[in-house]
Amino acid sequence: MTQVSSTGTNDANRYGASGPAADDTTRLPATSESPPDWSTVDEEIACPLCEYSLRGLVESRCPECGYRFIWREMLDPSVRLHPYLFEHHPERNLWSLRKTFVGTLRPKHFWNSIHPVQPSMPKRLVWYWALIALSFVLLLILEASLMTIAMRARHIQARADSLAFISANPGWQASIIRQYGSSEVFLDRYFPIDAQYLSRYWGDNFCSQVPATIGAAIIPWATILSFMVFQISMRRARIRTIHVIRAVIYSQTVMLGCFFIARLAGSSILIAFPRVFINLPWLITVSSGLFVLIGLIAGFYGMVVAYRDYLRFDRPAWTVLAASVVAAMILVNVGLMYNNWQ
């Protein structure tokens, strides 16, 4: 039999693992699937999802909530500290934030590295969401700036085209001079590039995107609320809410990242190809919509993997699909209430 080291116990104490820390008398089973010799286990072993006491069990399945576990995960204190998860490393915030974000881009690998026995830090989890939401605000400022630059490029291109057309048609030029005094006045009226116009355009663009930005930021919480609704009638109604929150927030990071790319891609296209703004406006919608669709698919897949590998549900895809429909209905109702308020 393998003896648990005191190093793992210190890590468990530091990060608040549930129950008293294992001491040097705690022994692991010979294999990960074999039950322990309970006479040698002094600490209280509880189900990480519902906190039901597992002492005396032989089968690696919680009789209260149905969670299937591996005995080694339950008995080895060293497993309770994740190597880079943002929740577990407050001493290296930026490093753990980056590692966690990159890790969520590979859902299967990410959720196989996290176990419910690893203690959850609700405050750190909310901070993770808050930092992602803050990045939305920064993105909104950047997008409004890029759109303003794109609009200026569009107007400069339109001014050049219009001036060439006016110069090539003396009759049209004479009519413009009679009505506006000069070609420059005409161009300034229909294709302005002055600082006052661009500043107003930036503000209008920023304000128009605020509702969508808020909606994207609250998607995880709408999804969590929908899961709570289903939990009332689910067999696993006793599952702790923090595990659902953890699964949703980390899973939907990929979706939010795709939304970032979608909005930046549209703005970048306008800057690189100002004529697209004039001749092919639908291309911007299609390109942005494609990234949004990819984001929705990625978020759905991440949630399915989380419910399959982390919470170990029997039918994760149907569970996530049902919750996603409810979340979509919540967001639609919020949007309608906002429109009515406006």
**Tens-digit pLDDT profile for residues 243-256:** 888 988 888 877 77
> How far is 329 from 270, CA to CA, in rounded Å?
33
> Is a pLDDT exceeding 90 seen at residue 206?
no
Query: Residue 89 has what pLDDT?
Result: 92
> Is a pLDDT exceeding 50 seen at residue 17?
no
Q: Which of 109, 115, 104, 99 minimizes the C-alpha distance to 249?
A: 104
Q: Give this prediction's pTM.
A: 0.67
Count of positions (residues) in the chain: 342
Under 8 Å between Cβ of 55 and 43:
no
Average pLDDT, integer, range 221-244:
71
> Is a pLDDT exceeding 80 seen at residue 58?
yes
Radius of gyration of the chain (CA): 28
Cα 158 to Cα 171, 177, 331: the distances in Å are: 20, 19, 39
Average pLDDT, integer, range 150-171:
86
> Is a pLDDT exceeding 50 seen at residue 61?
yes
> Is a pLDDT exceeding 60 seen at residue 273?
yes
Burial 212-235 (b: 16+ CB within 10 A, else e): ebeebbbbbebbbebbeeebeeee
> How far is 124 from 129, CA to CA, in rounded Å?
9
Residue with tokens 């506006």: 180
Q: What is the pLDDT of residues 75-125, one digit of tens each?
A: 877 778 899 999 999 999 999 998 998 888 888 999 988 888 888 888 999
Average pLDDT, integer, range 289-299:
78
Question: Mean of the per-residue pLDDT values for the chain?
Answer: 77
pLDDT band with cut points at 50, 70 and 90 for residue 266: low
List the structure tokens of 170.
Answer: 């003396």
Alpha-carbon dihedral 336, 230, 129, 106, rounded to 10 degrees: -120
DSSP state of 36: P
- The residue that leads in pLDDT, 269 or 232, is 269
What kind and span of H or E run contains 140? helix 122-168
Residue with tokens 């970032």: 260
Query: Residue 110 has what pLDDT?
Result: 92
Angle between helices 122-168 and 253-272 (to 10 degrees): 20
Under 8 Å between Cβ of 73 and 115:
yes
- The residue that leads in pLDDT, 283 or 41, is 41
Query: Residue 85 has what pLDDT?
Result: 92
Most confident stretch, 49-58, 253-262, 264-273: 49-58
Average pLDDT, integer, range 258-272:
69
> How far is 9 from 12, CA to CA, in rounded Å?
5
Span of 45-59, 141-155, 250-264 with lowest mean pLDDT: 250-264
Average pLDDT, integer, range 10-23:
36
Alpha-carbon dihedral 211, 216, 222, 224, rounded to 10 degrees: -160
Average pLDDT, integer, range 318-339:
78
> Which residues, listed in sequence order, are joined to residue 61 by a DSSP beta bridge?
68
User: What distance lies between CA 52 and its chain's CA centroid?
Assistant: 31
